[in-house]
Structure 1
Amino acid sequence: MRRGGGGGGGGRRLPKSSLAPSAIDATPALDSSAIPIRNLDSAFSRRDSDAASLCSSRPASSVGVGVGAAPNFSDRATQAAALRIVNGYLSPALTLRGPLPAARDIQAALRLLLERIDFPPNEATFEDDLIQALRLLGCPHKITRSALKAPGTPHSWPPVLAVLHWLTLFAQYSDADASSAAEAPPNDLLLYTTQGYCHFLSGDDDAVEALDEEYLSKARMDGEAAVAKFRALEKEAQELEAEVNKLTSGPSRREALEAQKETLTADVHKFEAVVKTWKTKIDEREEALVDLEKELEAKVLDARRTAAENEELLKKVDGQAVNVRDMERMHREMLVIERDIANAENGKAALEDKAWELEAKLVTKLEELEGLAEQCNQALKRLKPVIDFQYMINSKGSSPAEILGPGYKTVLKPALMAHAEENKRIIVSNLAESVDLQKQLQGSAKILEEEKSNISSLQTKHDKMVARLNLLDGEIINDDSRCTADARRMKDELEKKYNAMRSVEMEADEFLKNSEKRLQDAILKNDEETQAAATELLQLLDSIAEHKEFMEATIAQRRKELYEAADYIASLVSKTSPPVLISE
């Protein structure tokens, strides 16, 4: 953990030996378990007015009265309101029945409230424990032992109810405080700062560095976990977006059903068109067949009429008289008749050929009708109507209704109508399902928006963590660069000092050589000077000895003269002084 290192001694970290033992003993080391985050958070966020409203003699709120006025528990309405609050908190464990509850229930309620606020009473000394707990908690309401002995009387019930109401409010506040503290997220930064400054004040640099490393590693792990969670959420969001794009881009179930309905409707229209076409062809063929039958009947009638005429002519011939002219005429008429008969036979043969051709065409058309009927039956099977109907071609029928069968109008059309109604019902149900799917899609869109908002919040947290990590990395890089620069500078200084030392060593070697040479010269010169000085010293000693002898002689002479002068002065004093009389 880095702290400011500005000018002055306020930001400088003190070494271990910089603190006196008394200061170290006076500042105990704080353990992480000794600093609960809940207490720190509540210490910074708790309002003093909450405690004052519960423990002061002027509560912030009252039951049934205005703000700032103490509740009057002698009032029936106030008692009922306070009793409702107490019962609402104690139920279903216990219920006090008004207006004057039983003494046993009141004592049980007091015990339960004391247990809720972590003041479990003793059965033997319940009254003393209750009064002591109220005194410690600062309860503004006073209660006596006599009131506790008979709490259900009209005289004792108001103060007992006031105490119950106050304990209930205090217990509710304690529960709310505990729940909010339990739900509060841990404040690692506050704990880290507190522990770091604790170690800083105690001068424990190793603990500070260990705490810094632990917090940085934990921050990196939290950042990596947040990044992993963010990537997982981003991947989930991409999958949801892909699913939404797939649902929005692809055809919906309603559109698919509508397309299927259109396909089935087109198939029905095609089938009806084919049926109409073949019905028209069958009608045309039936009309042609009727015309041919009429022609055949006319030819048969002509043949019968011709045969009748021939019989009549034969009868006439038998009844007439025969002569040559008549024979010739008859012969000519017979030739004409034979020619007519031959022509009639040729026409009959041609008509028979036409009849055979028509019969072959009818057989072909019947086969085609059977093939078309088979196709229609297969189409009906694909449609799956409610009533099983199939076309059965009757080759012996003389009308379209007889050929196709009577069940076309009585069976197939109602089945097709029922199928159309069922298709309409399916379309309506599909429309309802499409509406439900639309609602589900809207719900999915809302969920996606919520996920996007969560992702944005996580992105914000991730950006903050990344910015913080980048800041830490920047500090680390700056420290690294600074240390590298210091190392490079120290290396340069060492190289300079080494070069200077080398030059100094070289100069010292040269100076040593010169000094040795000068020393030899100086020794020689000193020897010479010593010899000269010794000579001078001997001469000086001789002169000193002579001077000493001279001085001793001089001093002796001076002492002698001094003694003589003293004797002379003493003699002068004795000569000049008068005699002294000594009286007895």
Structure 2
Amino acid sequence: MRRTLGPVSSSGLNSRPSMGRQSMGLPSKGPQRTSMAMGSSRQSMSARNQSLGRKSTGISRETMARGGSRQDPRPLSDKGFMNASIRSLLNFLMENGYDSAISPKILARPSSKDFNNIVTFLFRKIDPNFNDGTHKFEDEVASAFKALGYPFNISKTSLYAVGSPHTWPGLLAAITWLIELLTYDQEVALAPNDEEEGFEDMDKLVAVSDKAFFGYLAEAYTSFLSGDDDRYAQLEEELIEKFEAKNEEVEQECERIAVENDDIVGNMENLSQTANALPELEKRQEDLSSDLEKFHQLIEQLNDHKAALEKKVESRSAELDRNQADLSAINERVTELKNAVASQDLSAEDVRRMQGERARVEEGLEKAFATKQQHSKELWEAETELNKVCDELEAAASVFNSKATELQLIPETAKHSQGKKFKIVVDKALAEESDTNAMLGNVDIKNEVRPVIAQLKETMTGNMNVAKQELLNLLDQEEQAEEQLKEALSHATTLENRARRAEEQYTKEKEQLDATIAELVAETEEAETKTTQLRDPMALETAIARNTTRLNQLKALREEKLEAAAARKEAVHNEILKALNMCADHKDYIQMQLGDLKAYGEEKLQMLQGGNTEKKVEEAVVEEETAEENFNAGADELPPPPTSA
């Protein structure tokens, strides 16, 4: 038997999971709903209210079963929440073509007319016949919110005074909930109905399949309720075809992934085979890297050697040019002489003279050539010696710059530089010139550097002498403190000896007292024995009384001796403890002063060795005077030696 629905359409609100319920943390009702934006095809709000009457009753019963009216967990009276709700309402009204005047000031405390216009505009997005005059506005608003499943009660009394501070926050929250509902409907209406394609991951594939199944379920259920069996069967066949097509695509994707996996496994095998040669290749790479670094170093050395040779070639080229010019002049002179010889008449005597002159010239040329070679050799040796000297000079300049930096002479802004440049930079190119200062970077060693260093040396020598004198004074103070410590320890030893003697005397007196008591006890026992031997009652009572009196006297004497010995022992013990405590305090104080003096001496020594300035030396002198005053004050405040009891 087929079932049919009454006035509720398949796109009605019965299948809607309220957006407000999700935002309020309430469970969703039913499957996914379709769009609410199809106002022309929907029934009136009154008919929908009638169809939702049973659902609203169920909600109210569920609410009553859970314990009465529900409290709104939202911070309705919070200003931040209200401002956010007002901005959301204002943006929605402006985006959807609200035709009345609207502003944040109006929404902060609206009038009844503004509230009527806003609520009518919003509910007519759902039901175009809302507030058509057939019902009271207040009744229709409360019923509409209840029919839509708003989880909180809308009081009709609050609708009569919408702008009051205690009613407007709750109504604003209800309107915000309605805006969220309408926004959800708009998003659903704009959402694409086509199924998503692709196999990025299994979650997306499952989501696509679920979407297709739920779409089929919605249409098939509508066809089942309306009795359209043909459409129902067609939908089922379409769903089967879609799933089969998806299964084929999944199988193809699986085959493709299997092929890719095979390729990856092959690549892994190839990589595992080549992995054995990896250590050898890495070692070869290290060797090649080392060779490459050596080649780079060699190239740098060759470039430096090349630059030096180029300088020499330039100098030799200049010399060659000069020699060629001289040779040209000589050749010209020879030509002139030859021409003169050719033009004059020669005799045998002239020929012999000329041959002798020629021999002398050739001999002079050979001597000049030998002299030239000797000069070239000496020049090469001089250049070698110059390079060696320049290297040594650069090393000495580096040491000088380092020491000058430690002495605060470098840079020019250093404390002892006096605004002068003391950093030496050796320039080999200026070695042939006579200006030594230019070769050393325009630093005058004799006239500028040496006077400053000598002055600094004198200053540091004076500071060192002062510091040495201070150190000697500190050592004297240390010796005095050690002597005081020895005296205090000797005094403590004397007190310990006195305490030991007092303890021995106490023990001796106690033994004597114990012996006296033992004798008295023996006498008492002897007296008791004699009394037992006496038969005369009067004599017995007299002896007992006498012995009892004697015994009491001995007991009192014993108690007195014990109390005196205990008091004396306690006094001696307290005096010993007091003396020991004073010795310990004095020893700690002396050790602390000695530690401070040693630390101060080490600091002064480090300051002198590190090349500190006059200002630091003056500060050290002030600190030393302060430390000496503190030490003297502490020595004056030393505790007095303990007095004997």
Identify the structure with bigger relative contact order (alpha carbons < 8 Å, sequence gap 6+): 1
Please indicate, yes or no, whether the TM-score normalized by the shorter chain is above 0.5. no
The normalised TM-score by structure 2 is 0.26
Q: Which has the larger radius of gyration?
A: 1
The normalised TM-score by structure 1 is 0.28
